[in-house]
Amino acid sequence: MANARFGEVFVENQEEIVKVVQLNNSEVTLVGTAHVSKLSVEMVEEKIGTGDYDCIAVELCAPRLENITNQAWWKNLDIYQVFKKKKAGLLLINLALTAYQKRLAERIGVEAGKEMMRAVELAREKGIRLEVIDRNISTTLHRLVTEVSFWQKFKIVGGLIAGVFVGEEISEEQVEDLKRGDMLHAVVSEFGEELPEIKRVLIDERDEYMVGRLSQISEAFHAPKKILALVGAGHLIGMMPNLKSPPDAAHLEELDRKPPPSKLGLYIGWGICVLILSMFVVGFKQSPELGGQLVITWVLLNGGLCALGTLIAFGHPISIIAAFFAAPLTSLNPTIGAGMVVGLVESYMRKPKVSDFETLRDDITHYSMWWKNRVARLLLIFFLSSFGSMIGTYAAGASIVTQLWG
């Protein structure tokens, strides 16, 4: 079991927290940064510029490293495959976060995570060993999905989307809070009180994982002598207790495991299907007219609200028609979502142009451009048609119950 000896703690201008520990065969300097601070960028340049370190470890995973070093990855995105592989929701969240970060960057004057980007640039320029120590983002999101309830997921996604469209101005006080490293820990603590399951997956597990990765690097045969580890200030505070007893290989493997998806949602989906079909049967047994009316109610409410969501997103006329006919059927099959079907139709009818991908990162920061950029509009259609179908399912179900027994 690896052990860490703690060195002196330095705090400079509330912008950085630096802790030095001896971990296995390496001296590790952990630096807590504020991801939206110009001073954090300057501090990274100063630390690496000393030439004291033969390894730079950053709070990134391999896919995120690729994204920040290859800004053109959007241009190679196959949007049709995104919908076909049911990854539209993940891409939508990614775009919403990107939009918020760009708005924040414009307000503060420094891009979120710029200190990590600069560290990567300098490590490559100077030929210093670079290590990514964060858990793969897909694993983190997968574990998150299996841990939280449907309504918690909807709350998170809805909040992100609302944050993009409402376009609320960021106050001077909020900007200053974001710039202060010590405030990040307060935010994390508050986050944990309200949503403990989410904090455990997004914060606590990653704290453990990053300590485990540093332990692996420091106990390897060719371990670097001095490691500069750059992490967010909130993470650094959470990592310190784990440094006294880093997770072993077995625990690290467990943290990196993608648990099987919960079948509860699938059971609920099939349960709704059986319930609706059973009510149709009851209706037709009472009278053919009533049974027909129940079917019409189901189609009009479910298909109508899904089509309305597609219309609000300025979907192609064929996509609107597809939404109307797809929703009543997909709502009876939990393995297929209405938003996925409508998105596939829209991506076929209006294939995004190269220019849409080239301007995507800038367009999503402007409210109106979500309806003009074909890539952003596709994801907006996916979200609003899915939301419309979900509301339609419950509204139609309630109406059918009322007609039968009201």
Residue 8, pLDDT score: 37
Residue 12, pLDDT score: 41
Dump pLDDT digits (tens) for 196-224: 777 788 889 999 999 999 999 999 889 99
Residue 198, pLDDT score: 75
Residue 70, pLDDT score: 72
Residue 13, pLDDT score: 42
Q: Is the pLDDT assigned to residue 82 strictly greater than 60?
A: yes
Q: Is the pLDDT assigned to residue 181 strictly greater than 50?
A: no
Residue closest to 44 by CA, chosen among 107, 95, 120, 142: 120
User: Is residue 142 very low, low, confident or very high in pLDDT (cuts 50, 70, 90)?
Assistant: confident
Segment 372-400 mean pLDDT? 92
76-80, 263-267, 282-286, range with the lowest pLDDT = 76-80
Residue closest to 376 by CA, chosen among 397, 394, 353: 353
Residue 178, pLDDT score: 53
Residue 109, pLDDT score: 65
Q: Is the pLDDT assigned to residue 85 strictly greater than 80?
A: no
Cα separation values, 174 from 147, 170, 178, 193, 343, Å: 30, 6, 6, 20, 37
Q: Which residues contact 169 (CB under 8 A, 6 or more apart)?
A: none
Dump pLDDT digits (tens) for 7-25: 433 334 434 478 899 999 9
The Cβ-side half-sphere exposure at 65, using a 13 Å CA radius, reads 18
Token pair listed for 20: 């030095």
Dump pLDDT digits (tens) for 335-361: 888 999 999 899 889 988 767 776 777
Q: Answer whether 341's CB lies under 8 Å from 322's CB.
A: yes
The dihedral formed by the CA atoms of 323, 325, 331 and 334, expressed in degrees to the nearest 10: -80
Dump pLDDT digits (tens) for 156-166: 666 666 655 55
Residue 235: Cβ-neighbour burial (10 angstroms; 0-12, 13-18, 19+): buried
End-to-end CA distance of the chain: give it in Å, rounded: 66
